[in-house]
Amino acid sequence: MEEGVIDAPFIDLLNRLEKLNILDSKEQWLELRKTGNTLSHTYEDEPEVMSVAISAMFNKKQSIERIYKHLIVYRNNKAE
């Protein structure tokens, strides 16, 4: 992206990624992050919660792939 972006608040980075068409929306990323946090903070003694979290992340697979593809396009455009 640009110099100085590392020092920006996270929400500003999400807004920038949205403007660059890497993210469909900042809400998309926040939802993925929330699901990821649930996965990483759910333990084996909570199998029902873990099952729901795994299913939720699997259902977000297309969003994750789309973000990845947008990142690749952005990187390739920057390399030209």
Report pLDDT digits (tens) over 43-78.
778 889 889 989 999 999 999 999 999 999 999 998
In the block, which residue shows the tokens 């992340």?
57
Burial label, 77 (beta-carbon count in 10 A; 0-12, 13-18, 19+): exposed
Cα 70 → chain centroid: 12
Average pLDDT over residues 4-26: 87
pTM of the model: 0.77
Say if residue 3's pLDDT is above 70: no
pLDDT at 28: 92
pLDDT, tens digit (0-9, with 9 covering 90-100), for 8-18:
898 999 999 99
pLDDT at 39: 85
